[in-house]
Structure 1
Amino acid sequence: MVRFLVSSEVDGSQSFVEVLLSNDSDRWMDSIVQVKNMVIGNNKQKSQVIVQGLIPRLLQWMMHDNIPLDLKIECSVVLGSLSKGTEANIVSLIEAGSVPILLAGNRLANYDLKYVEACLRCLRTVFLCNSAPKEHIFEDSSIIPLLINVLPKSSCTQECVTTIFANCCKTPEHQNMLCSNGAIEALAPLLKCNIYKVQMPTLRCFSVMCYQNEDVAQAIANYDNGKGDTISEMLVRLRNRDKTSEMQMAAAKCLTYLYRGGALMANDPIIMLKTLPTLIRMCKKDRTLEENVEGAETLAYLIEVNSELQKVASISDHLIRTLSDYLKYTSVQQISSTQNTQKKDIHWGNELKQAAFKAFASLGANDEDIRKKIIETENLIDHITNGMESSDVKVQAAAVRCLHSLSRSVQQLRTTFQDHALWKPLLKMLQNGPEEVLRVASSTLCNLMLEFSPSKEVSELAKHIDNVMNGYGDQIMQAVVFILEGEHCVDIKEQALCILGHIADGKTAKDFIVGNEDVLRKLINYMVHNNEKVQLAAVYCICNLVWNDDEGSAERQARLRDLGVQKSLQQLSTTTTGDLQQRVKLALQQFS
């Protein structure tokens, strides 16, 4: 006989839940207090009362006007406790429809502070969960004004509302809605409140509001409290060394987003002398792994588009050597101590690698000398090769982005690239990589084949392309055809056609295209594509194939003429304008 062992705790919770599910209203208050005490800090009990059907009952009471306020407060407290359990507990709360009911709880005419705080605490935790319906607070136009209205009532409401905003703001529409409802004016004073639990989510909220949104970034930068104290100046103070590393990082990130949003200039001392050094400091060994990763990622974003910031960063505090140490970190997993209550394992080895690759990519985006310093990093190309073969998509994408940046110096670094097996993982990415990886991988292949150099002789370039195609021609053609046949965006197809254009610039490499009728017909189809960039790339390839001065051009011209290429070009010459028309006319001139 199988014996079922049921603990007295479970028996107790069951009896209390049974009372709450009954019509015995005189015993409800005592029972819910007992349940509250039992589930605090006890995930087993949380799961048990959820299975017993407690959540719908509590939500039902919260919706009814005739339920005493004290009981409603206890309901919201218990729901808040359940939300601090496992992720499955939070999902149960979400699926039961708790979010709209908890938000409705804030609309009580008397605005009892204890009830409002209890509802907000529960919502705060729920919205930290990835599966939470974060768009809900923006779907009803009354919710954002409501939350901003309750924001100043206590430090608890300030902490909860700012955390909710920081975790729910995901789109430009969300950013604009917060801005238009007075979030900037409501949040700005909180930066000076000296309550850490309020300041941190406020910083995060400002960051997500201005990220890649020029209008909101400008509105934040223009804020003035009437005493000449701007948000930018408050942020600078919060990144001072007397603040915690977490706060310094959050403030520097917000300043970074303001700069990238066009609200601050690169030569502004706030960016050049305050934000940049702070982020470089976050990359050092004496910081936590989490700060190292976030610091390097944010630094990469800060300097990505400005050559002066890149130059200053490259010579600051041994940054390149510091980042190279990231690549040596072993694949250790640690428990994350982030704001999310649902702890998870993080592969810090991968996180550090992808952060370093991103930073290297930005550092080397414009300057040949910086790229040379980066390439001299011990075993860097091996790390990039391994990164491109990683099962972690973030590492893959960052590795190929780093290679793309370095590939701008392919002439100078030719031996380095030839001595490493970079082609194989790069071509594999072109066939199997996700869209965001494919775009950079195809552009990198373009660079590696073109071998940029102002003084490069045409004959040398052709020889380089022939060497590449002799070694990897079949794989490159297979990857290009895969892209041209797939459902990819216009930019990626343009890159694939540019690769064909470079191949057509070789001597023997041309045969890979001319001997493949399927590829030729694809070129003809893309000549009449509805996107001009794609048409330009296709005609560029045709032009290289039929170029008069190249050996064997007469045979190639005859082959393409038979396929109707010359006729298509003649039609295009009368229906196009600008650069495309000039490219078409140049191609037509090559036909004998």
Structure 2
Amino acid sequence: MNSNKHAQALVELDSPDPVIRVKALRFIKNNIIGNKTKKDLYISLDVIPKLVSFFKNKETIDPQVQIQAAIVLGSFAYGGESNVTELIKHDAVKPLLGCISIKNDPRLIEAAARALKAIYKCPTADKNDIFQDTHLRDLITLLNPDSLNPKTDREKIATIHTSELAATIIARCCETNEQQIQIANAGAFPALVKLLVCGFSKAQEAALDALAYLCRENAEYGKAIVETKSEANDSPVKIMLNLIRDKSPTMQLVSAKCLTHLSRANAIMEYSNDIILIVLPTLVKLLDEKGPVREEAPQVLAYLICDNEELQKAACDSGAVLKLADFVTHVGDQDNSYYDPLGDSDKLKENALMALAAISSLTEDGRKLVVDAKIVPHIVKAMSHRSYGVRAAACQCTRSLSRSVNILRTNLVDAGIATPLFKLLSDESTDVQTVACATVCNIVLEFSPMKKIIIEHGGIEKLAELARSSDNTLRLNAIWALKNFVYDVESDAKDSVMKALTYSTLEKLIEDQEIDIQEKALNLLRNLASRPNDIEDVFKELGENQLMDIIESKLSCWNEEIIKQILYLINNVATGSDNHKKAIMSRPNILSQIKNYMSHKNPDIRVIAVWCLINLAWTEDKHNSPGRVRELRQLGFEEMVKSMTNDEDLDVREKVKTALSQFSQV
């Protein structure tokens, strides 16, 4: 077919005769379906604005024209992210949403819904339009196949397919908590649970997928789904446990995913045995499938066992590690990978690495199985992979393995982890940088020789740069890594850190909008001031008054972790010289707060507060100590510790004994 006929088809779209328009649309449709070259051609001929114009005035446009135009738009949408971008640029989404009202022809509704399904599959597509006007209500209505009043069996099948499309769209439009709320408030739960028992597998799978995303990280909605009964009064969980035994691998996967999300939302704790005995083995079995099912199964498995030691042990016992390790080892970087010709080999490798990271995150047995599978060199190699998702997953896997000091000192170091890891601190992806920082946190704390390597690779300067990032998580992980780096190191290493970070930046981080960042920044300051000489350096660089001002203001914080760090900081300063102790003694508010925290409900805080008192009272110079002890006695500290002799916490009682012995000597 030559290009003149394609150009002629565009001319015929402008015909006032609807028959000619429909003929031209069908010609375009038949040419572009499954043909990327023809899709690109028609996009270059600017056909999309013409198609969108057919929905601007529904009263004057023949319904058959709109149906065919919606089908053509849908075909473009199935052509990939660049095509979806073109559709969005020409404002095709709103007109398509306007077509899903039950007032329209069922064929138009189905064509528009199919196009929207493809558009919303694109991660960059804006989901906000669906929550405007009556579009969400229209979608919820379409979840009920009876809403379109099918008369024949053929029409009933068509309406169920439309319900499937609606459920899929909903699944792709509940990425945030606010979106979950709006969809739930529109009445999605009863409609989706009803769809679970419709008897048509594709619609059931779509309903399961939507329910899974509606309860992801949402305990309230997890419980709401569990409490939503079907029309036959069946429990949704029992329906899912029945569907997970279906012969279709796709049905097994989405059932397992929905049960996984409900489990992670703590909505089905009474089904914990079913999670271990049915859901987890199903996911491991699905690793033997082909294509998209096997690609997604490791991701669901990783989410299921994350933060759960019992499930991680069960995954180890199931033989999952060797299967996942096989993906990491054998899924090639070449495009024509024999391993998964119908799937995304990069995504399979990424998900396999995430599952291995989850399996090895809490248990030594899990880490040993991963090492015994001889894939550590492959994990390190994956840190330089072309896909940012694979790089991040490999880094996450390294982070889990590095929690074992023995593995870190041997396998990871021998595999040459340092160079690719530090390179990832400068990765183009913020996600990769964030995980790399988190991995460095582990390594510098557990393996001191790595600190020297970090300095040699310019890692300190890079971490200091990332500590100024606008991304909250990246900023947190960077300051976390730096505070671990300065733990128990010599003064020159601390000087290197503060030369790169600067005290002015540290002060800003101490006042950061994120409380976790404040806590880590204060922990860094505490680690800087860990020895008398280092304390003096902090006094000089930060300034005595500024340091005491920080301590005084943060002692009033409501957050217990902040309080702990400040008390530890005071305790460190109190181990310094007499001048350092005097700086604290000169601040009545600081002393008053220390005494107040001796009666705090948290025993850890009581212990540190008494410890501060002990170090303030102690000195090598016996001429100075009595004066401070008398001053502390006058402030009521002796009476306070006397009242704590029967404290319920053993550590508190032991510290109280030491404090009282100091008062008894003066």
TM-score (norm. length: structure 2): 0.73
- Stretch deviating more after TM superposition (560-569 or 182-191): 560-569
The residue aligned with 2:640 is none
Distance 1:98 1:524 in 2: 47
SS at match of 1:21: coil
2:145 corresponds to 1:149 = no
* Residue pair 1:212, 1:260 contacting (<8 A) in 2 also: yes
Distance 2:9 2:412 in 1: 70
Post-superposition offset of 1:303: 0.3
2:138 corresponds to 1:138 = no
* Residue pair 1:542, 1:587 contacting (<8 A) in 2 also: no
The residue aligned with 2:326 is 325
* Residue pair 1:221, 1:230 contacting (<8 A) in 2 also: yes
Distance 2:414 2:167 in 1: 52
Post-superposition offset of 1:280: 0.8
- Stretch deviating more after TM superposition (53-62 or 473-482): 53-62
The residue aligned with 2:604 is none
The residue aligned with 2:297 is 295
Post-superposition offset of 1:364: 1.5
Amino acid at match of 1:474: E
Post-superposition offset of 1:325: 0.7
Post-superposition offset of 1:515: 5.8
The residue aligned with 1:244 is 248
SS at match of 1:268: helix
Distance 1:528 1:82 in 2: 50
Post-superposition offset of 1:524: 7.8
The residue aligned with 1:309 is 311
Amino acid at match of 2:465: F
The residue aligned with 2:455 is 473
Amino acid at match of 2:575: Q
Post-superposition offset of 1:42: 1.0
Distance 1:60 1:528 in 2: 53
The residue aligned with 2:151 is none
Amino acid at match of 2:273: P
The residue aligned with 1:84 is 75
Distance 2:387 2:544 in 1: 47
- Residues 181 and 55 (structure 1), Cα distance of their counterparts in 2 relative to 1, 3 Å cut: same
Distance 1:359 1:14 in 2: 51
Distance 1:65 1:528 in 2: 57
- Stretch deviating more after TM superposition (95-104 or 44-53): 44-53
**1:546-592 CA distances to partner (integer Å, 9 max, x unpaired)?**
544xxxx44x4444433244443333343332323312311221321
2:548 corresponds to 1:570 = yes
Post-superposition offset of 1:249: 0.8
- Stretch deviating more after TM superposition (206-215 or 532-541): 532-541
**1:191-223 CA distances to partner (integer Å, 9 max, x unpaired)?**
222223322322222222222222222221111
2:24 corresponds to 1:35 = yes
Distance 1:580 1:447 in 2: 20
Post-superposition offset of 1:248: 0.9
Indicate which of 75, 79, 104 corresponds to 2:98.
104
2:164 corresponds to 1:164 = no
* Residue pair 2:503, 2:541 contacting (<8 A) in 1 also: no
* Residue pair 1:99, 1:123 contacting (<8 A) in 2 also: yes
2:328 corresponds to 1:364 = no
Indicate which of 444, 453, 457 corresponds to 1:449.
444
Distance 1:520 1:21 in 2: 64
Alignment map for 1:528-539 (pairs within 5 Å): 529-531=510-512, 533-539=516-522
If asked which structure has higher relative contact order (CA below 8 Å, sep 6+), I would say 1
Distance 1:321 1:345 in 2: 22
* Residue pair 2:487, 2:527 contacting (<8 A) in 1 also: yes
- Residues 169 and 493 (structure 1), Cα distance of their counterparts in 2 relative to 1, 3 Å cut: closer
* Residue pair 2:526, 2:565 contacting (<8 A) in 1 also: no
Alignment map for 1:176-195 (pairs within 5 Å): 176-195=181-200
SS at match of 2:572: helix
The residue aligned with 1:234 is 239
Amino acid at match of 2:326: D
The residue aligned with 2:605 is none
> Which runs of 5 or more residues in structure 2 are unaligned?
149-158, 556-562, 578-666
Amino acid at match of 1:327: V
- Residues 388 and 32 (structure 1), Cα distance of their counterparts in 2 relative to 1, 3 Å cut: same
Amino acid at match of 1:480: L
Distance 2:28 2:192 in 1: 34
SS at match of 1:30: helix
Post-superposition offset of 1:484: 3.2
Amino acid at match of 2:363: D
Post-superposition offset of 1:308: 0.7
* Residue pair 2:299, 2:354 contacting (<8 A) in 1 also: yes
Q: Cα RMSD over matched residues?
A: 3.4
- Stretch deviating more after TM superposition (414-423 or 356-365): 414-423
Amino acid at match of 1:333: D
* Residue pair 2:399, 2:438 contacting (<8 A) in 1 also: yes
- Residues 472 and 32 (structure 1), Cα distance of their counterparts in 2 relative to 1, 3 Å cut: closer
Amino acid at match of 1:175: Q
- Residues 419 and 62 (structure 1), Cα distance of their counterparts in 2 relative to 1, 3 Å cut: closer
Distance 1:90 1:484 in 2: 36
- Residues 172 and 544 (structure 1), Cα distance of their counterparts in 2 relative to 1, 3 Å cut: closer
What number of residue pairs does the alignment pair up?
545
Alignment map for 1:260-299 (pairs within 5 Å): 260-265=264-269, 268-284=272-288, 287-299=289-301
Amino acid at match of 1:376: D
**1:404-448 CA distances to partner (integer Å, 9 max, x unpaired)?**
111111146522233231122222222446333333322322322
SS at match of 1:229: coil
* Residue pair 1:39, 1:46 contacting (<8 A) in 2 also: no
Distance 1:97 1:347 in 2: 30
TM-score (norm. length: structure 1): 0.81
Distance 1:560 1:304 in 2: 40
Post-superposition offset of 1:357: 1.5
Distance 1:321 1:478 in 2: 39
Alignment map for 1:403-482 (pairs within 5 Å): 403-411=398-406, 413-432=408-427, 434-451=429-446, 465=448, 467-475=449-457, 476-482=459-465
- Residues 200 and 546 (structure 1), Cα distance of their counterparts in 2 relative to 1, 3 Å cut: closer
> Which runs of 5 or more residues in structure 1 are unaligned?
1-5, 339-343, 452-463
Post-superposition offset of 1:115: 4.0
Post-superposition offset of 1:503: 4.0
The residue aligned with 1:456 is none
Distance 2:140 2:516 in 1: 47
Distance 1:418 1:50 in 2: 52
Post-superposition offset of 1:362: 0.8
Amino acid at match of 1:80: I
Post-superposition offset of 1:398: 0.6
Post-superposition offset of 1:496: 3.9
SS at match of 1:274: helix
Post-superposition offset of 1:394: 0.6
* Residue pair 1:514, 1:520 contacting (<8 A) in 2 also: no
- Residues 156 and 502 (structure 1), Cα distance of their counterparts in 2 relative to 1, 3 Å cut: closer
The residue aligned with 1:394 is 389
SS at match of 1:327: helix
SS at match of 1:194: coil
The residue aligned with 2:60 is 67
